[in-house]
Amino acid sequence: MPLTIRMSKLKTKIIALAVLTGFAAGAQAQSSVTLYGVMDVALSYQTHTNPSGDSTIGLQQGNEGFLSGSRFGLKGDESLGDGWRAGFTLENGFLANTGKLDQQGQLFGRQAFVKLGRERWGDLALGRQYTTANTMLYYVDPLGVGAAPSNSWQVYLVGQRYDNAISYTGAWGPMQVIAEFAAGGIAGETRARSSMSLGVKYASGPITLIGDAQQTNDTQSRRARIYLGGVKATIGNASLYANYLHSNRDAGFDSSNGGTDTASITSMASGSPTAAVAINSVFNQRRSDDFFTLGASYRATPSWLFTIGGMQDRTHADGFDGTRTTTYGVADYSLSKRTDVYLATAYEWTSGGWSGLFGNTTTNASAAKGATLNGRSEQLSVMLGLRHLF
């Protein structure tokens, strides 16, 4: 369980007078600070991890567990009275197999923001935050967006977090709306390196619907746009998931900001498709992606949860078309409310411009020139994991 510390702010009184009269000062506001976290560590077996086609056994797949990224964080909340509230979140991501920082080495790379809000009005937050698209995907993905490279590569299309972000979150009945803007911070430029997005969720009974639109500009004001829609339907102990994402990037779009700065939208740079459509973040061709997910989960008993899913990205980039597909399955057993063990497997295969992705060692320089990948076109992963929440 998260550790929560509660405090009371006393009205300003003269302490001696309070003692003499026998009356304690009244509580003016309630506040709390909560420590929380997740650790997900897995023993992983992967085929085709280098151009020779060799297999690898070790902890983690891409330094993450299959289900969750390891993290710890602090959340603070304060009631200001008359319906007003304030709060903050500081969330660190780390690699449980090495203890190193995740998220580009940022201390609080997962989240770092302060917020102010009022009942029925919503919340205004400022700082490093999740993108609206990543938040909306969570509601309609079978794994709530996994953590391993084999089950979470859709985030490379939408990005995961905004730096320098201002967001508004409002909720009215079954409807939730999130609007977000990330400033570029370049003198004399209002558009360069900025991002803006709008996400909507509708949840009523067994049905959850989401939609999202997002635009990101690089340092040269070249644009990447995404449009997302999805649904989750629950029937008894079973849930069905589906989502569709369309992405367009201008020719030469560079989400890494030239490699000199953390992008306003991070995680968009790494994992971009293949040498044919440029494995690095910069490529000369205009590119579009059509990505979809289908999946289902079934709660067989209070302890056993079974999940299956499939993901496919169809990429188009001026003659370098390609397809990447993943299927996966997870058997998860809860030892308690906070601890579970799982067995997961994923099989991936590629074609066209994606061919040779797995175990590839093609350099970014040659990738930018359209060199073909030297890896393999399929990969099998099996993971036995242990996850603990605190």
Helix (H, G, I), strand (E, B) or coil at 389: strand
For residues 292 and 312, the answer to whether their CB atoms sit within 8 Å is yes
Average pLDDT over residues 93-106: 88
Residue 80 pLDDT class (50, 70, 90 cuts): very high
pLDDT at 25: 35
- pLDDT at residue 318, rounded to an integer: 72
- Of residues 187 and 47, more confidence is placed in 47
Segment of 15-19, 207-211, 217-221 carrying the highest mean pLDDT: 207-211
Is residue 252 scored above 70 in pLDDT? yes
**In this model, does residue 135 exceed pLDDT 70?**
yes
Pick from 78-92, 342-356, 367-381 the range whose average pLDDT is largest: 78-92
pLDDT band at 3 (very low <50, low <70, confident <90, very high): low
* Sign of the Cα pseudo-torsion (217, 171, 69, 380, in order): negative
Average pLDDT over residues 246-257: 78
Backbone conformation region of residue 327, classed left if phi is above 0, alpha if psi is from -120 to 50, else beta: beta
Q: Answer whether residue 266 shows pLDDT above 50.
A: no
Confirm if 279 and 273 have CB atoms less than 8 A apart.
yes
- Name the helix (H) or strand (E) containing 132: helix 132-140
> pLDDT tens digits for 201-210?
999 999 999 9
Over 90: is that where the pLDDT of 217 sits?
no
pLDDT for position 188: 78
Residue 198: its pLDDT value, please? 98
**253 pLDDT higher than 70:** yes
Chain centroid to CA 324: how far? Answer: 20
Question: What value does the mean pLDDT take over residues 200-226?
Answer: 93
Q: pLDDT tier at 19 (50, 70, 90 boundaries)?
A: very low
Domain residues of the chain, as ranges? 40-389
Nearest residue to 275 via CA among 349, 359, 353, 348: 353
Q: Residue 207: CB partners within 8 Å, gap ≥ 6?
A: 231, 232, 233, 234
Report the share of the chain in percent with pLDDT over 90: 55
- For the segment 24-55, what is each residue's pLDDT rounded down to a tens digit? 333 455 899 999 999 999 999 999 988 899 99
pLDDT > 70 fraction of the chain, expressed in percent and rounded? 81
Of the candidates 149, 181, 154, 190, the one whose C-alpha atom is nearest the C-alpha of residue 264 is 181
Instruction: State the pTM of this model.
Output: 0.85
What would the CATH number be for the domain defined by 40-389? 2.40.160.10
Q: Which range scores top for mean pLDDT: 46-60, 321-335, 351-365? A: 321-335
Q: Looking at the predicted structure, is the pLDDT value of residue 281 above 70?
A: no
pLDDT at 22: 37
CA 337, CA 291: separation in Å to the nearest integer?
34
The confidence band for 220, taking pLDDT boundaries of 50, 70 and 90, is confident
For residue 279, name the pLDDT band (cuts at 50, 70, 90). Answer: very low
* Residue 158 in this model has a pLDDT that exceeds 90: no
**pLDDT at residue 333 above 70?**
yes
Please tell me the distance from the alpha carbon of residue 46 to that of residue 18, in angstroms, as a whole number: 68
Average pLDDT over residues 129-142: 95
